[in-house]
Structure 1
Amino acid sequence: MKKNETALAPNAALLVIDVQKGFDDASFWGPRNNTAAEANIARLMDAWQESGRPVVLVQHASRSAGSVLAADRPGHAFKDFVADRAGRASLLVTKTVNSSFYGTPDLAAWLTAQGIGQLVVSGIQTNMCVETTARMAGNLGYDVLVPLDATHTFDLEGPDGLRLTAEELATATAVNLQGGGFARVVTTAQLLAASGAPAQVTA
């Protein structure tokens, strides 16, 4: 395999995590990074569905008081471009925590039943549900690919007022996942090329 070439299994599953309308509320979340994330996720969904590979949608139903992602709030709904493609998805997982493997129905059981060993993990937020799911998938023995440009996150404040920008957090996720051996960090263009789809992405 040549440098920068990515191999995809014929049944590699694309996970689209928490691409929900509530994340459009800038007053709730603050500044974000990677405005191209949604367009790249849409391209991946189309490429996966065109090639007959499975797409798994994951939807967060927050139990936190006042959350824009609570099941009874408008923000719980998928963003329109995901909802428009949802009818061709192979599975919908609902979760209340960061990892997509702690949801309903059981993701690992479904993957096992389908004989799927390779996962492509995309969605929101890069350093939260995407990273947590990718780490757990790596621990469970899956071959995990994370197209960082098909994810995004928000600025975040930690202890003693330490604040990192969304871009800094995304960079940290990339280092954590690939440096830690959980996943390989790739690009949407690499995955589109591997799937046989045109490798045009939004920069």
Structure 2
Amino acid sequence: MDIAENAALVVVDVQKGFEEAGFWGPRNNPGADDNIAALIDVWQASGRPVVFVRHDSVKPGSPLRLGSEGNELKSYVEERRGKGAGAELFVTKTVNSAFLGTPDLGAWLGAQGISQIVLAGIQTNMCVETTARMGGNLGYDVVVAYDATHTFDLEGPFGWRRSAEELAQASAVSLHGGGFARVVTTREVVDAAG
């Protein structure tokens, strides 16, 4: 696998509000945060660009609503902002895709000459997947570091309920099998970026 010298790491919604287990329910992949931190460190050390994305929920009861403590980036992410040798962008959004936030992610990537993005963050099957799908549709070479993401159990129509792990795997199959992105491990990305 090749990771471009100017590939952008897009860190999606790694926010304190996702720690509220009573709101979200059971999650998968307890190692996600360590893998996200490792990717940020590698990107910053190599001078590659990093994009930090924050979801500003407009839902009154959401732990991610603007102005709440849960809206803040997790400490390990916030502490890394501004520490890299490469370009950095901070995007806020109220919908699932980082491409529909402020400032315009696509315009920034274009201005930087970036054609490859690596995604990590929360939730695998929501904002990470939506950003990956849009990125693929827009012609970017999208890589998803699967084990640098996590999600939560979810109930859908007809009383169907799926575990976080089932949802994450389904998301990975859809993205990879559908040609939207290459779904790989953090180790594969780190080895290729080194």
Secondary structure at the counterpart of residue 101 of structure 1: helix
Q: Deviations over 1:83-117 (max 9, x none)?
A: 11012360000000000000000000000000000
Q: CA deviation at 1:161?
A: 1.1
Matched, 1:44 2:18: no
Partner of 1:95: 93
Matched, 1:167 2:165: yes
Matched, 1:122 2:126: no
Aligned pairs (5 A) from 1:1-203:
6-88=1-83, 90-196=88-194
Partner of 1:199: none
Q: Deviations over 1:15-38 (max 9, x none)?
A: 000000000000000000000000
- TM-score under structure 2 normalisation? 0.97
1:12 aligned partner, one-letter code? A
1:36 aligned partner, one-letter code? G
Q: CA deviation at 1:11?
A: 0.1
Q: CA deviation at 1:195?
A: 1.4
Aligned residue pair count: 191
Q: Deviations over 1:105-137 (max 9, x none)?
A: 000000000000000011000000000000000
Which deviates more from structure 2 when the two are superposed, residues 151-160 or residues 84-93?
84-93
Q: CA deviation at 1:65?
A: 1.7
1:88 aligned partner, one-letter code? K
State how far apart, in whole Å, the 2-side matches of 1:85 and 1:162 are.
39
Secondary structure at the counterpart of residue 121 of structure 1: strand
- TM-score under structure 1 normalisation? 0.93
Q: CA deviation at 1:185?
A: 0.4
After TM superposition, which residue ranges in structure 1, 4 or more long, deviate above 3 angstroms?
Answer: none
State how far apart, in whole Å, the 2-side matches of 1:144 and 1:186 are.
11
Secondary structure at the counterpart of residue 192 of structure 2: helix
Q: CA deviation at 1:171?
A: 0.5
What residue ranges of structure 2 are gaps of 5+ in the alignment?
Answer: none
State how far apart, in whole Å, the 2-side matches of 1:175 and 1:40 are.
20
Kindly report the root-mean-square deviation, in angstroms, between the aligned alpha carbons of the 2 structures.
0.7
Secondary structure at the counterpart of residue 75 of structure 1: helix
What residue ranges of structure 1 are gaps of 5+ in the alignment?
Answer: 1-5, 197-203
State how far apart, in whole Å, the 2-side matches of 1:181 and 1:190 are.
19
